[in-house]
Structure 1
Amino acid sequence: MTRRADRLLPVVLLALCFVPVLSGTLRLVQLAGGPEIMPADDRFLDWPMALVVHIVGSAVFAVGCVFQLVPTIRRRHPDWHRRAGRVLAVAGLMVAGSALWLTLFYDPQPGTGPLLLVLRLVVAPAMAGCLVVGVAAARRRDFRAHRAWMIRGYALALGAGTQVFTLGFGEAVLGHGELRGDLLRVAAWVINLAVAEWAIRRPARRRTSRARRVPAEVVSP
């Protein structure tokens, strides 16, 4: 990764986190009895604990992982990376577990349909699985696999940030509707996973291409 990309990565990721973290913070203020800056959601009034866990865990995981993914920080502060990684893995599992709980035991979000319900039941366990496999890989010192699985888990977690753009631009072009909205939300996860797989494979391709050039340069007259 170039120095320019190294500097740009946290800016892009923090921008994706901004709207979900802000809306979650405003929802916590509202649940605590503060002013209703955003429309109320009566689904969580009886027992809001799962929502609180989801919001707090999401904020910690989304923002904290930004700095875990910057190569310069990982190289210069390996001890911090390990200690923060343990905390963030727990936060990520809190996010996945609470997302599954909210999907199973609360009424669906207004304006969404069965497609999104099914996908949420898939994405939450998939995110938890990525984190568990990633932590296990780190414990056996397979850091390439660790990096790959943690990136995939983070990509799934950051779906809400990308949905801000897919919904915003998609509904402006295609119009509103239950199925359209569900598909645009699903598109956010697809985009994130596609970018994650590109990021995982790109360094390997670059190293391979360099390795292939060396023999050619050595044997050339």
Structure 2
Amino acid sequence: MTNESMAVRSARSPRGRARGGWPVPAGLITLSLIPVISGALRMTELAGGPVTMPATPALAAPLPLVLHILCVSAYSILGAFQFVPRLRRRTNGWHRRAGRLLAGCGVIAGLTGMWMALFQGRPEDGGLLLGFRLVFGTAMVVSIVLGFAAIRRRDVARHRAWMIRGYAIGMGAGTQALTQLPWILIVGVPGDLPRALLNGAAWVINLLVAEWVIRRVARPGDAPRAASLA
């Protein structure tokens, strides 16, 4: 048996798919470390630790902020493991149980994010950034709700597509750090308009990647296999 045929056979086997399924979750977890670490520093500050994060009006009424940090952290990390093929097998049951928790965390993260943007936003954020946060926050919550409704109808393809979109939006904070970094290195700290556009670009980039992933996995003959992974 040639090396090529062995590689194809390994990729088609459950064990081969499981091994090949870890790079994507590992990359997502790495990207999620940016908001998770920021949230941990903010929680440390709220607990009376050293102040290391920029001031925010949300500290005056921190309940939405605490809920947002906890739910975003869980949503980012837990969501990454939903891309592991072995964990999506019906016989395992982990994917379904984790998905319920993931949906709840995602909805709370989206709602608290919009609440803080509306009522606890910083004056320097500007109207454009507020608009982006409301639009993409709403899109995230709607995507999760539609994904949950789809799986209740046992429509696995639409469930997967909407959940991927919701997760992509939720991972915007990590990508925003990457879109802003080149600007900071070359130009300096971005002003109101560049910051809003760079943040908006991160959400758009994530959604474009999500659509590419959705179309890539939606191949002919994929639906029967996907149904066994619900």
- Tell me the TM-score normalised to structure 2 length: 0.83
Aligned-residue offset at 1:5: 4.8
Spell out, residue by residue over 1:13-62, the C-alpha distance to the aligned partner (whole angstroms, 9 max, x if none): 011100110010110110111122x1352412321101000000000111
CA contact (8 A) 1:171 1:181 kept: no
Q: 1:42 to 1:9 in 2, by over 3 A?
A: closer
Note the aligned Cα RMSD (angstroms).
1.9
Aligned-residue offset at 1:109: 6.3
CA contact (8 A) 2:58 2:121 kept: no
Spell out, residue by residue over 1:91-150, the C-alpha distance to the aligned partner (whole angstroms, 9 max, x if none): 01110110111011113264x322111011111111110000000111111011100000
Q: Distance in 2 between matches of 1:20 and 1:109?
A: 22
Aligned-residue offset at 1:205: 4.2
Aligned-residue offset at 1:81: 0.8
Q: Distance in 2 between matches of 1:180 and 1:199?
A: 28
Aligned pair 1:148/2:135, yes or no? Answer: no
Q: Which runs of 5+ in 1 are unaligned?
A: 209-221
Aligned pair 1:125/2:141, yes or no? Answer: no
Q: Distance in 2 between matches of 1:102 and 1:179?
A: 20
Q: 1:205 to 1:170 in 2, by over 3 A?
A: farther
Q: Distance in 2 between matches of 1:32 and 1:94?
A: 22
Match of 1:219 in 2: none
CA contact (8 A) 1:17 1:161 kept: yes
Match of 2:126 in 1: 113
Q: How many residues align?
A: 205
CA contact (8 A) 1:108 1:117 kept: no
Match of 1:73 in 2: 87
Aligned pair 1:100/2:114, yes or no? Answer: yes
Q: Distance in 2 between matches of 1:183 and 1:42?
A: 21
Aligned pair 1:7/2:22, yes or no? Answer: yes
Match of 2:208 in 1: 194
Q: 1:140 to 1:8 in 2, by over 3 A?
A: same
Q: Distance in 2 between matches of 1:77 and 1:109?
A: 51
Aligned pair 1:169/2:179, yes or no? Answer: no
Q: Which runs of 5+ in 2 are unaligned?
A: 1-10, 12-16, 223-230
Aligned-residue offset at 1:75: 2.2
- Tell me the TM-score normalised to structure 1 length: 0.86
Q: How much identity, in percent, do the aligned residues show?
A: 47
Q: Distance in 2 between matches of 1:79 and 1:45?
A: 39
| Candidates 6, 12, 22, aligned match of 2:37 | 22
Match of 1:139 in 2: 152
Equivalent position amino acid for 2:142 in 1: G
Question: Where do 4+ consecutive residues of structure 1 move more than 3 Å?
Answer: 2-5, 205-208
Match of 1:212 in 2: none
More displaced stretch, 166-175 vs 25-34: 166-175
Q: 1:66 to 1:156 in 2, by over 3 A?
A: same
Match of 1:58 in 2: 72
